[in-house]
Structure 1
Amino acid sequence: MLLSVALSTIAGPLSAQGAAGSQQPPAGGKVVVEQSAGAVDLAPTASGPSPSAPNSSRASVPVAAGAGSRFVLIGGVVRDTLDGTTLGGARVELLGTGFSTRSSDDGHFRFAAVPAGRYTIRVTRMGYEPIVIVDVPLLEDHREAPLGVTMRRRTVALSEMIITPGHFGLLQGDVAAGGQSLSRETLETIPQLGEDIYRAVARLPGVTADDFSAKFGVRGASGDELYVSLDGLELVEPFHLKDVGGAFSIIDIQTLGTASLNTGGFSAEYGDRLAGVFTLETSDPRTDGVHGSVGVSAMNARATLQGGFAGGKGGWVLSARPGYLDVALKFTEIRDSIQPRYYDLFAKVRYDLPGGGRIAVHALRAGDTFRFLKKDEPNIFSGYGSSYAWVTWDDQFLGDRLHMQSVLSGSAISWQRHGENYSTAGVQNVSIDDTRSLDRIGVRQDWTFDASRTLLFKWGIDAKRESAAYDYLRVLAGKQPDGVKTGRGASISTLAAPRADKVALYFAPRMQLLPSLTVEAGARFDRSSLTDESIVSPRLNVSWQPYERTTVRAAWGSYSQSQSLFSLQAEDGVQSFGLAERAQQRTLGVEQSLPNGVIARVEAYERRLTHARPKYANLGGDMWLFPELLWDRTLIDRTAGRDRGLEFQLARKDAGRTDWSVSYALASSMDEIGGRMVPRGFDERHAVHADWSLHPASGSWRLSLGGLWHSGWPYTPTLLTVDTVKNSPTELAISTWRRPGELNSMRLRSYHRVDVRWTKYFHTRAGRLSVFGEVYNVLGTENPRGFWRDATVKDRQVVLTSGEIQQWPRLPVAGFTWQF
C-alpha cells in the first residue's frame, strides 16, 4: 500500500522519548508516545526507517513536496517492532475528524482522500503501545510514498482492562476492549432515525426498543434502569418529545468522541441502577484553527464549531441542533395535526494544566414544544426543558500512579403539560394542567491508585442534593361522552415538594493474580434520605485469558435503585415514594477472535429482582398523549422479577471492504404478580439483529443494510362490554366500555424490519461533503405494537371489529453534512 502524504520542512529524523528520555520538538510536527517509554521516528525519505532502539515503537513518514491537489490519500502498513510481522486490527485515526480505519490481516490500511491541513494521527492496537503524532501537516502538494508504522508490544495496564461482560465500545475502537466495538464511521452510517446515538445502540444484542422511542432497555429491563452519563455527569431523562415516548436523545452524535455500553455486571463505581451503564464522552476539540460542520436532514439541522487558544493548551467546541419531526411525518401516512419541535445546545471549554491535569467547563441545554390538535381527542400544549452545567477536573499525582477525576454540577429539569377536550356540543369536559420541576446540585470524585503493576485501587464518592415540585390538576366535568377513551373518571389534584440527599461511597481493588487472570472485588454504599435507606452492594468481576485470542469474563453482584425524585406518578394520585428495588446479577461471557477479523461472542446472564415497586402503566398498546386518561391505565403490583438469557454474536469490523455483524438472543423476562410469574411487556423470547455494509477501498461511499426480527411481545387482551342505549324499530344505539383482560396473556405476531442507508462523500476545496439517503422500514412492513377491539352498529346489527396498532410505517429520510 502506498501513502500519498505531504509533510513540510522536516529536515531529518525526529524522535520523542517517553518519560525516561528527553523530547526534541520537531520542525513540522510534534510526536508524542502515549503511555510508552519507546520512541517514534519520522524519516525524511521512503528508502527505509531511521535507526532506532530494538524495542521502540516507530512511525516512518516520508516527506513530499510540490504543487497539487488539496487532498491527500493516506495508506501504509503496520508491523511488530520485534519480528517485523504485519499487524491486522490496528486502528489508525485522524483525531478530531471522522476519518479512521483499521489495518487488514496483512497489516495494510488506507484512508479516503482527506482535506489538506494539520492533523493529529493516532495508531492503537490491543496489546501494543499507542502512538500519537501531533500537529502533522498534510499539504495539498503530495507524491505517493509508503507510511511504515512499527508498534511495540506491551502489557495492557490494569486500569485499561475490560473485566466486565456485556461491554461494547462505541464510536472509537477501544484498545483493551477487543472486538466488541463499533467505529464512528459505522455508527454514523448505519440506518437510524434522526442520526441518534440511542437508536444506533438499539441494534446491539440484548437491547430492546420501540419504534417510537429512542429510550432502550437492556436484557428485559426498562430504560429507566440504565445509568447514563455525559463527560462524567449523570443525565436525567435525556430525551426530546416526551409526549410520544422520547423520540430522540438530547445528545448530538457529532459532538461525541467515545461511548460505551455495559449491559450487565457493571462494577462498584456505578450504582443506583439495576440494569446497565451507558457512558458518553464528548470529543476533544481541534486546536489548529477554527473548524466546524453543518448538517441538514428531514428531521433536524446541526452546526458545530471548534477551535483552540493559548497555543493549543486550550480548546473549545459549540454545537446547536434544532429538530422538526413534523416535516418528516409529512412523508408518512400520519396526517394528524402534530407539531413537535425541539432543540439542544452544547458548549465545552477545556484547558490543559501543568503536570498533566485538565479542567473543563460544560453546558447542555435542551428544550421541546409540542402541539396536538385533533377532533374528538384531547388537545395538548406542552413544553419541556433540561439545563446542565458542570465542571470537570482530571489530574494525576505521584508521577502518574494516582489519578483523580472530579465533577461539580448543577441541573434543572422542567415539565409543563396543558390539555383540554370538548364534547360534540362544544362544552369542555376534560382539563389537565401538569407542572413539574427538578433541581439538583452534585459533586463526584473518583480516584485510582496504581500500587504496582498487579494491584490497582479504585475508590470514590458521589453526593447529590435534589428538590422537586409537582403541581398536577385534572378536572373532569360531568359524565364523559366517550367511555372508551376516558374510562378513568376521577378528578385529581396533587401538590408535592419532596427533597432528597443522596450519598454513595465505593471501594474496588483490582488484582492481577496471574498474567492471564484479573479479579476486581468491590463494594458500594448508597444512602438516600428520601426513604431513609442505607444499602451495601458487593460486586465481583473476573477476566481470564487462557489463550491469546480467548477471553472469559464473569460478574456477580448486588444492585439497587431508589425511586427517582422526578418519577412520582402524580397523574395517578400517588403522593409517596417507594423503597429501593434490589437485584442480584450473574453473568458469564466468552469472546473469541477468529481468522479474517471475525469476533465471536457468547454470553449468559440471570438477574433476580426483589423489593419491586408497584407502578401504573397502560396495557392496551396505544400511544396517547394523556395516558393517565385511558381506559387501560392499571396498577401493576409486581413484587419480584427474573430476567435470564443467552446471547450469540459474530462480527467483522473494519477489516476489508465489507463489515457485518449478526446476533441472536434467547431471553425470558418475567414479573411475579399475585404469586405467579407473568411475562413482562418487552419479553422478547427470540431476537435476531443483522447489519451489513459495503464500501470501496477509496472510502468514497458506503452502503449499509440493517435487519431486525424478534418474536412478538406479550399484550393484554381487551374485554369489550356492549350496552344497548336505544332499541326502536328505526334505530339501534349502543355504548361500549373496555377493560383490560388477563395481563400479558397473549402475544403479538413477530416483528421484522429492514432499513437501508447510502452515504456518499465529496471532497471539495472548502471541506468534505457527505450526503445520505435512508429509508426506515424499506419494505413497509406493518409491525404491531398493540391490539384493539371495538363494536359498531351496521344495518341494526352489532358488529365486532378488531385490529392491530402499528409501529412506524416506511419513512424516507435524506440529508447532508459539510465538514470544514
Structure 2
Amino acid sequence: MPNAIRSMIGCVIATVACLASTVGAQGTSAQRETTFSPLRADAPPAAVAVPVTLVLRDVTLAAALEAIGREAGIGLVFDRSAPGLDRRVSVRETRASAAAVIVRVLDGSGLRALVSPTGQVVIAPRPRSSGGAAVGGAVRDSASGAPLAGARVELVGTRYATVSRDDGRFTLGRVPAGDYVLSVAQIGFRPARVPHVVVDDAEASAIDVAMPRAPVPLSSVVVTPGHFGLMQPTVGAQQTMTRQQLEGAPQIGEDIFRAITRLPGIAGNDLTAQFHLRGAPQDELYVSLDGMELIEPFHLKELDNALSIVDVKAIGGVDLTSGGFSAEIGDRLTGVLTMRSIEPRTDRTHVSAGLSITNARVNADGGFAKGRGGWVLSARRGYVDLAMKFTDATDGFKPRYGDAFAKAQYDLPWGGRVAVHGLWAADDLNFVDSTDSAVRSRYRSGYAWLTWDDGVGDRLRARTVLSTSSLSWRRGGLDFSSRREALASVADRRTHHALGARQDWTLDVAPWAMLRWGGDVRRESATYDYLDWRRDYRVDATHTDVRFVYDSTVSAVAPDGTRYGAYVSARMRARDGLLAEVGVRDDGATWERDRAINPRVNLSWTLRTGTTVRAAWGRYSQAQALFGLQAGDGALDFGPIERATQRVLGIDQTLPKQMRLRVEGYDRRLGTVRPRWVNVVGDIDAFPEVGYDRVLIAPSAARARGVELFVSRDDGARFDWSASYALASAVDVLDGRDVPRPVDQRHTLRGDWSVHPLTNRWRLTVAGLWHSGSPATPQSVQLDTVYRANGFDVWTRWSAGALASVRLPAYHRVDVRWTRYFDTRRGRVSMFAEVFNLLGTQNERSLYTNVDFRGTNATFQQGTSHQVPRIPTLGVAWEF
C-alpha cells in the first residue's frame, strides 16, 4: 500500500479513536468533554506519569509502544500500518515516567502522542511542518508560587533565549516544530531543565516552571569585585553578556578577546586582540582554558597580536576578574580570564561550519558510551589578508594562520569526570617589500592536558590538572632604507617547553564554612638563539666625512627551572548576607632565587535582595616568565619579582525593569617594577628590537586607580542595551615624576544597543566607543650636514622625543552588525554583515615627522598615523 494511503488511513483511525473516546466520556458524564492534546513529558496526566522500567533491544517501534502500555497499565491506540512504526528502536529506562518514555521513542519517527485528561493515548502522524508554534510560559517559586523575574530561559542548543519579566512570564516567540530541552537558571534557585518540550505546529506551548529554592553553595558565591560572567549563567553570579549578545556584537575576526573589550576598565587599540586591564599590560593577566594556563595565546604577532588562538564557537563560558582575585590564582599582578569550553551534546552529533572574509571554521560535538562521554572538535583556517585589503596595508602581506581544539570527557560511574584536551596553533608569514622590509616568520604552540574532577564523600572535592606545552618561534628578515639599502637584519629562534601539575581541594566544613587549598608546580625549559645587526652613521668633527658603523646583538642562552605555588584559604558566612574569604599564597621560581608570600582578603555583603557590596585587599606578585627574556635587547638576566598591592570596592545593584548597576573603585600600587625595553612612538614594526624608538624604561614604582560605572538592561523584550563609563589613571614613576602609561585613558564611554524579535530571528547591534586622547611620544629628528667639494649632503637620524609628552585627540568609533538566522529542515543557517568603524573616523595612533629638503632649506612636517579605517565584513554559518 502506498505510504500516502497508509498515512491517510492512520489519520482516520486516530481521529475515530479520539471521537470514540470522546463519545464514551460523554456517555458517562454529560457535562465533561474529553479533549486530546499533545503528550508532554514534563506535565502528563497522572495515568501516564507512572514509572516504568524497560530494557528493549532492536525492536519495532510498534512493539516498544505495546511494551510501554503493558508496563504502565495504559491503553495506546495506533494503526500498525502507519509509516514509522516499523523502525527499529532500543529502550533502556529505569523508573522513568511512561509519558517521557513514549515521547523519547517517538522522537524522529514522524509520529506524535495525543493524550486525554484521563490518560488515554493515541499515536497519530505528526502534521507536516508549517512554521512551528509560539512557546512561552511562566517561572515561579515552587514554595510560595511567587513569580520569578530575571530568570534566564533558553531552548538548549538553539538561538531561542530570553529572561522572565517582572511577572515571571517569558516568551520565546514562534519556534519550529520539534523536540527541545528547556533550561532555566536563576540565582538562589536550583537550575531547572524541562526535557522533551514538544512543539507542534499551530499549537502554542505554555510551560510552567516551578523552581525550588537552593541556597547558593559557598564555593559558588562571587566574593571578588570586578567579576564579569559571559555566555553562561552560573548558580552564584549574574550574567553580564549572553552568548547571543556576545556573538552578535561587532568585532573584527569574531574573536573572544575583542568581544571582552566591551567591558569597563579595558583599553586596547583597533589592531590588536590583546587588551590592557585597568592600565596593566596583557602579560599581567592570567589566562586559562579548562584549567590550562595559556602562554602567548595570540595569532599574527607581526600585527601586534591581532587575533586570539581560541575560536569563540568552542567557548561555553567566560569569567573575567579585573582585580582583587583570591588566593587560588598566583603569579599574576592584575586579573584573571577563565574560559570554559562548550559542553558537548551527547544525544547526537552537532556540526557547525562557518565562512567569513577573515577565516573558515568547523566545529563539531557529540557523545559516546551511551551518553556518559562527550567530545568537542574545533578548527579554523585564517586568511586575514582579505580583510586587510580594506586598509592601507600592502597587498604583499599575506599571513597564514590556523588553530584547532579537541576535548573528550567521560563521566565516571561514581560521579567524577575525566577529560583530555588539546590546543594547537600555527602562524606563517613570508613578506617582501624592497622599500620597507623582508620578513619571514613561523610560530607554533601546542598544549595537551588532562583534568580529573572527583570527590571523597559529599563534602570533599578535588580537581587535578596534568599538562604539557610547547612553543617555538622562528623569525628573521631585513629592514630597508628608501634607497633599498639594508639597515638591519634579525635572526631569532626561541623554544619553550613545560610539564606541569596542579591540584585544588575544597572541603565543606559546615554549611557556613569552607576550606580551600592546593598547589601547582611546573618544570620549564627555554632556548634563545638570537642575532641581529643594525647600521648607523657617524659624521666626523669637521663635518667633511661620514662613515657607516655596525652594531650587533648576540644572545644564546638556555635557562630552565621550576615554578611553584601553594595556597590555603577559608571562606565563612559570618552572618546573613555577610561572607568573608581570607587566604594566603606562596609563589616562586627557581630562576628568580626569590619567593613571595601574599595575603588576601575578600568580602561580600548582601545588604538586601538586589544589593551587594564587595571589597578586596591583597598583595600580588609576578616573576619574570622563563620565556620572557628580551634577548633582542641583550637583556639575559631575569629581573626581580614584581609586587603590587590592590584595593577594590564595588556595589552591585538590581534596579526595576531588569536593569543592573555596578559601580567600582580600585587602587593598584606597584612597589617593585622590572625595567623593560619598549618602543615608545607606537609604530607597528616586525622587528621592534632594532627600532629607532626603542628605549629602556626603569620605573621606581607604578600606580593605577580609577572608578568604573556599568549599567545594563535585558528584560526579555525586543531591546537590550548596556553602557559604561570609566575614570582612570595609569602611571609609571620615573625620576620622581608621574609619566602616563601608553593606555592612560582618563575618560572612557562605551555603549551597546541591540534590537531583535522575540524569536531572535535576527539581531541588529550598534556599538559606540569614545575615550579621551592617549599619551604619545613624538619623534625627534637630527640633521647632520656633510660638506663636499661640490656642495653638501644632509643625513637624517630619527629618535624618540620626550616620553609621553603629548596627548592624541579623543578617539571615537561606531560599529554595526546585523545577524540573520534561517531555520531549515537540515539545521540552521546564519548570516551576518558587519561594518567596523561605520563612520570612517580617522583616529590617530601615533605621531611622525617628515623632513622635506628644497635647496638649502629643510621643512619639518608633522603628521599622524591612524587606526583601522572602515572595514566591512560578511560571513555565513550552517549548523546541523
What is residue 497 of structure 2 aligned with on the other side? Answer: 439
Deviation of residue 374 (structure 1)? Answer: 1.7
261, 265, 270: which is aligned to 1:202? 261
SS in 1 for 2:126: coil
What is residue 455 of structure 1 aligned with on the other side? Answer: 513
Partner AA of 1:430 in structure 2: A
Contact 1:621–1:805, Cα closer than 8 Å, also in 2: no
Q: Deviations over 1:746-775 (max 9, x none)?
A: 111111110000001111111111110000
Q: Deviations over 1:127-161 (max 9, x none)?
A: 21211245x26466672231111112232111110
What is residue 24 of structure 1 aligned with on the other side? Answer: 95
In the alignment, the residues of structure 1 paired with residue 38 and residue 472 of structure 2 have an alpha-carbon distance, to the nearest angstrom, of 52
717, 739, 759: which is aligned to 2:799? 739
Deviation of residue 403 (structure 1)? Answer: 1.2
In the alignment, the residues of structure 2 paired with residue 671 and residue 46 of structure 1 have an alpha-carbon distance, to the nearest angstrom, of 75
Deviation of residue 121 (structure 1)? Answer: 2.9
Q: Deviations over 1:295-331 (max 9, x none)?
A: 1111011101111111100111111111110011123
Q: Deviations over 1:270-306 (max 9, x none)?
A: 1100010000000110011211101111101110111
Contact 1:10–1:27, Cα closer than 8 Å, also in 2: no
Contact 1:782–1:809, Cα closer than 8 Å, also in 2: yes
TM-score normalized by the length of structure 1: 0.91
CA spacing shift, 1:422–1:183, aligned 2, 3 Å: closer
The percent identity for this pair of structures is 46
Deviation of residue 663 (structure 1)? Answer: 0.6
What is residue 38 of structure 1 aligned with on the other side? Answer: none
CA spacing shift, 1:430–1:718, aligned 2, 3 Å: closer
Residue correspondences, number = 780
What is residue 290 of structure 1 aligned with on the other side? Answer: 349
SS in 1 for 2:264: coil
What is residue 59 of structure 1 aligned with on the other side? Answer: none
Report matched runs for 1:256-405 at 5 Å: 256-399=315-458, 401-405=459-463
What is residue 510 of structure 1 aligned with on the other side? Answer: 571
Partner AA of 1:701 in structure 2: W
Q: Deviations over 1:421-462 (max 9, x none)?
A: 456776655321100010011011111111111001111111
Partner AA of 1:543 in structure 2: S
CA spacing shift, 1:122–1:11, aligned 2, 3 Å: closer
What is residue 779 of structure 2 aligned with on the other side? Answer: 718
Unaligned runs of 5+ in 2: 1-36, 52-92, 103-112, 540-547
Establish whether residue 785 from structure 1 lines up as the match of residue 845 from structure 2.
yes
Partner AA of 2:669 in structure 1: R
Partner AA of 1:472 in structure 2: Y
In the alignment, the residues of structure 2 paired with residue 668 and residue 418 of structure 1 have an alpha-carbon distance, to the nearest angstrom, of 38
Contact 1:5–1:144, Cα closer than 8 Å, also in 2: no
Q: Deviations over 1:342-392 (max 9, x none)?
A: 100111110000121100010110000122222322210101111000011
SS in 2 for 1:111: strand
Deviation of residue 656 (structure 1)? Answer: 1.7
SS in 2 for 1:651: strand
SS in 2 for 1:491: strand
In the alignment, the residues of structure 1 paired with residue 42 and residue 498 of structure 2 have an alpha-carbon distance, to the nearest angstrom, of 54
What is residue 471 of structure 1 aligned with on the other side? Answer: 529
281, 291, 294: which is aligned to 1:235? 294
Partner AA of 2:574 in structure 1: L
What is residue 147 of structure 2 aligned with on the other side? Answer: 86
Structure with higher Rg: it is 2
SS in 2 for 1:146: strand
Deviation of residue 615 (structure 1)? Answer: 0.2
Establish whether residue 67 from structure 1 lines up as the match of residue 138 from structure 2.
no
Q: Deviations over 1:777-802 (max 9, x none)?
A: 00111111110112111355311111
Deviation of residue 96 (structure 1)? Answer: 4.2
CA spacing shift, 1:261–1:46, aligned 2, 3 Å: farther
Higher helix share: 2
CA spacing shift, 1:662–1:785, aligned 2, 3 Å: same
614, 617, 621: which is aligned to 1:556? 617
Q: Deviations over 1:197-224 (max 9, x none)?
A: 1000001000111111100111111111
Partner AA of 1:240 in structure 2: H
What is residue 175 of structure 1 aligned with on the other side? Answer: 235
Deviation of residue 257 (structure 1)? Answer: 0.8
SS in 2 for 1:74: strand
SS in 2 for 1:311: coil
Partner AA of 2:229 in structure 1: G
In the alignment, the residues of structure 1 paired with residue 222 and residue 431 of structure 2 have an alpha-carbon distance, to the nearest angstrom, of 47
Q: Deviations over 1:562-616 (max 9, x none)?
A: 0011110001111111111000000000011000010011100000001100000
Contact 2:840–2:870, Cα closer than 8 Å, also in 1: yes
Partner AA of 2:188 in structure 1: G
What is residue 565 of structure 1 aligned with on the other side? Answer: 626
What is residue 810 of structure 1 aligned with on the other side? Answer: 870
What is residue 667 of structure 1 aligned with on the other side? Answer: 728
680, 685, 689: which is aligned to 2:741? 680
CA spacing shift, 1:339–1:262, aligned 2, 3 Å: same
Contact 2:520–2:566, Cα closer than 8 Å, also in 1: yes
In the alignment, the residues of structure 1 paired with residue 124 and residue 228 of structure 2 have an alpha-carbon distance, to the nearest angstrom, of 40
In the alignment, the residues of structure 2 paired with residue 182 and residue 518 of structure 1 have an alpha-carbon distance, to the nearest angstrom, of 26
What is residue 826 of structure 2 aligned with on the other side? Answer: 766
In the alignment, the residues of structure 2 paired with residue 188 and residue 114 of structure 1 have an alpha-carbon distance, to the nearest angstrom, of 21
Two-structure CA RMSD over aligned residues (Å): 2.7
Contact 1:587–1:604, Cα closer than 8 Å, also in 2: yes
SS in 2 for 1:472: strand
Partner AA of 1:419 in structure 2: G
Establish whether residue 801 from structure 1 lines up as the match of residue 856 from structure 2.
no
What is residue 697 of structure 1 aligned with on the other side? Answer: 758
602, 607, 610: which is aligned to 2:663? 602
Establish whether residue 752 from structure 1 lines up as the match of residue 844 from structure 2.
no
Unaligned runs of 5+ in 1: 17-21, 32-42, 51-62, 482-486
CA spacing shift, 1:85–1:357, aligned 2, 3 Å: same
Contact 1:239–1:247, Cα closer than 8 Å, also in 2: yes
CA spacing shift, 1:583–1:546, aligned 2, 3 Å: same
SS in 2 for 1:127: coil
Contact 1:11–1:44, Cα closer than 8 Å, also in 2: no
What is residue 148 of structure 1 aligned with on the other side? Answer: 208
In the alignment, the residues of structure 2 paired with residue 64 and residue 665 of structure 1 have an alpha-carbon distance, to the nearest angstrom, of 61
Contact 1:6–1:137, Cα closer than 8 Å, also in 2: no
Partner AA of 1:236 in structure 2: I
Contact 2:488–2:690, Cα closer than 8 Å, also in 1: no
What is residue 19 of structure 2 aligned with on the other side? Answer: none
SS in 1 for 2:724: strand
CA spacing shift, 1:502–1:47, aligned 2, 3 Å: farther
In the alignment, the residues of structure 1 paired with residue 549 and residue 308 of structure 2 have an alpha-carbon distance, to the nearest angstrom, of 32
SS in 2 for 1:199: helix
In the alignment, the residues of structure 2 paired with residue 46 and residue 795 of structure 1 have an alpha-carbon distance, to the nearest angstrom, of 100
SS in 1 for 2:97: coil
